Amino acid sequence: MGRRLSLYEIIHPPCTLIHNHMNLLSDHIKEFIQPYPRLRYTKGEYELRVLPREELDMDEEKKFWRMFRKFPNEFAAAAVSMLPKDVEFKQYDHLNNTLFLTKK
């Protein structure tokens, strides 16, 4: 059996615990995001809307929007982690669910 946590550790969990939780949640959220179209454009700035996968049923789509509302940081992290390597993330507009990107 492991050691008991102090009240301080319960209230202020170690950053690694929080970070691992965010990674797991972000990985789960990625399963609901429609893969991005190939950005074969020339260099420049683009806006890309984050959408639910087309094959999601109604309950899964509701879950997508629930995660969007309840976990905005993890949702943005999941959306950004799906970008191709030659695309640089600039900004995320949570209200419009839009990524602002620069193609290198």
pLDDT of residue 18: 45
- Token pair of 40 as six digits: 């074969």
**pLDDT tens by residue, the chain, 104 residues:** 556 655 565 555 555 444 444 578 889 999 999 998 876 667 889 899 999 999 999 999 999 999 999 999 899 999 999 998 888 999 999 999 999 999 87
- Give dist(CA 58, CA 38) in Å, integer: 26
Please state, in angstroms and rounded to a whole number, the distance separating the CA atoms of residues 89 and 92.
8
